[in-house]
Structure 1
Amino acid sequence: MAPKPKAKPKAKAPPKKKAPTPGSPSPPPPPPPRKPIVLLMNETRVKVVWTVITIAIITLIAVAIGMGVSYRKLKRAPKDPRTDPLITLRSTMAASLNRPKINSENAMQVAEEVKTLPDHLEEAEKAYKKRKLKYQSFFLKGGKSSGRWDAFGRNLYYISKGKKSWYDAENFCESRDAHLASILTDEEQNFVTSLLSDPTWIGLTDETEEGKWEWTDGSRFKKEYWSHNEPPHRQQNREIEEDCVSIVPASNNYNWNDAYCHEQRRWVCKENLDIEEL
């Protein structure tokens, strides 16, 4: 016969709690479990970070709302009446003075520039008048209307039909914004001589100082085309002062002759035109 299995030992029943005796105090509750110190520190940091983030978000929202309100107020505010005139002034000054930088300058800098406008206007007016005179000279006397002014290089030349003294001839030329002609180059000497058929006054004189020849238009005396036996060495036995010079057309271009200034001769005026200014 098979052996009988041993009987399992009976589990001990938990001790029965004694019922509190009536009138005796109840036992204290067990203490709560303690959390680790490291866990408490991490929770504190997380709370601080979230607090800072929350404050920052609230601040940004408040700033955005404030900027929106300010923008709406500025947009609804009436426009400064000085803004458009100032913009126009800047653009006009920048274009007139050829200074684009003025467009980016502030109001105070533009105001300083405005102080100088009278000087700029005065300079512009002078330049305008000067250029206007040049245009008038070119179109009215440059062979356009009268047909008596000939252009050569940068100059206009007038050959008279009548005769005058050297002084009256110079006065005539000055009344036309010109002078008796100065001869400064070989080409000019050839050109002027080619226009003449009679002795003709030019703007050379030594009236101020004997032997010191000067052009009436202020040009430097650098070329000489004297006829034979004429200056620079003056004969001392002449009774009449011959302080003025005329061109006596000849077969060659050495044809200057000093003469008595009151003799009646034809004359040639010369006006310089600054072509670059035109």
Structure 2
Amino acid sequence: MSAPSTAYPIGTPGVAWGPAEVAVWRARQTRHRSYADDVLTVIERLRDRFDVREYGALDYAPERYALFALRSRHWRDELPTVLVTGGVHGYETSGVHGALQFLERDAARYADRANLLVAPCVSPWAYERIHRWNPDAIDPNRSFRADSPAGEAAALWHLLAPYRDTALLHIDLHETTDSDESEFRPALAARDGVASEPGEIPDGFYLVDDSEHPQPAFQQAIIDAVAKVTHIAPADARGEIIGSPVVAPGVIQYPLKKLGLCAGITNARYKSTTEVYPDSPRATPAQCNDAQAAAVCAAIEFALAHTTQA
């Protein structure tokens, strides 16, 4: 094992952070954009088309963030339920704006075919600071469990509890960025008092399937749709993407529930986590949003087409 990295400016190499180090880290975080301006204004525009529900609030003094989900106005219990989440990692911009774009441009086509429940910005504090963690230096996307230490994860866990055994589909919208390698992985290693091991950021879109209940045809349908919008990430020289074996072009697998990942909250048959690469010279912000929306639409179309199959 290599020696713990000395590059990260907070903490003592080889020693996990305590409250003092977390406080120093939190004090370094700067607000770069507005949840109210970027997200809540769009939600307000959608109130005439969806039922908007405040499903919790995050009190991070002196700030308070109300959490919102939008659901089909004419909910029908006999229709399948589709769950879409974005902004679990607040810095992953197209996850938030792709979810909102889907609501604005695409959701109407499913009005008589599915019940939609969309939480477009799960982590607003992190959205404003373009960060992965919440103010307690906790990654919400490793915290989706009943006793979650992350308020963002706990609120969404309770929101989705009624659909745990009835949802047909849950798609969670993410990005993999260059800052994963330059900031977030070194910060994680420093926080946990371990060595920071260099990795490789994939250039392109990819998906994370559930290794415990894989759905390869479903993932392929999403990849095929997104390939019309932006490029799919190739495997690296080891046949991997971010350290996991590629099981099909642009697809890797994680045990979603075991890792406490958002897409594993429910027992939905169809689950996927999208990963867009916004730092590619081959992709624009608009393409990234389009890719997320295309992934959601393809996922819904496939799931609805296969609801009667065993």
TM-score exceeds 0.5: no
| Structure showing the higher helix proportion among its residues | 1
| Structure showing the higher strand proportion among its residues | 2
Which structure has the bigger radius of gyration?
1
TM-score, with normalisation over the residues of structure 2?
0.22
